[in-house]
Amino acid sequence: MTASSRTATVKRATKETDIALTLGLDGPAGGESRTGLPFFDHMLDHVRKHGLFHLDVQCTGDLEIDEHHTVEDIAIVLGQALNASLTDKRGILRFGHARVPMDEALADVTVDLSGRAHFIWKADFPHGYQVGTMNGAIFKHFFETLASAAKMNLHVVVPYGENTHHILEAIFKAFGRALDTATRKDDRRDDVPSTKGTL
């Protein structure tokens, strides 16, 4: 793992996946996703584009089994890269929220880079989870794993939506925007945004 100037690169190799991920919090939006899962790449593109992050994800995984290990391990590595790029979290806004529509679907995502992992997911998929070649139910696990690895509070609420693609796209766009706000520097402060003095 390497980190400098709010940018971190994390590499992780197991018998199930081999991942190299670089995250830059201050943009410009760039990088690419090559996970072997086109729909997942599309969702990560939304985080990159709407969060204004440099996000480069290269992964070779055991997709002959299914997508579980690839999605889970990328969440772990992304969470580690987020923590490394934030260092001591001095001067960040810490909290972020975004409400994003996608046609008939609406997603609310709220982030607190608190140093404590907590995850809330309130999203229904009225017409099932299948999207492209993937079982969309895996994305709840992606965000839960990401919240744990990044040690953040992450609340995902979808008050309504019908199309699985639209629901997930709204969630990923809202997550990108909420995380952008939470990681942004506040020029008015140079301390850690907590009465504890640490996050």
pLDDT score, position 113: 98
CA distance 199 to 88: 7
Segment 121-156, tens digit of pLDDT: 999 999 999 998 999 999 999 999 999 999 999 999
For residue range 15-44, list pLDDT tens digits in order: 999 999 999 999 899 999 999 999 999 999
- Count other C-beta atoms under 10 Å from residue 15's C-beta: 7
pTM (predicted TM-score)? 0.96
53-108 pLDDT, tens digit each = 999 999 999 999 999 999 999 999 999 999 999 999 999 999 999 999 999 999 99
Burial class (CB in 10 A: 0-12, 13-18, 19+), 100: buried
140 Cβ neighbours under 8 A, 6+ residues apart? 121, 123
Listed residue (29, 18, 22, 30) closest to 5, CA to CA: 22
Q: How many CB atoms lie within 10 A of CB 87?
A: 13
pLDDT for the residue numbered 3: 66
In this predicted structure, what is the pLDDT of residue 1?
A: 78
Q: What is the pLDDT of residues 158-177, one digit of tens each?
A: 999 999 999 999 999 999 99
Tens digits of per-residue pLDDT, 94-112?
A: 999 999 999 999 999 999 9
Give the domains, in start order, of the chain with CATH numbers. 2-183 (3.30.230.40)
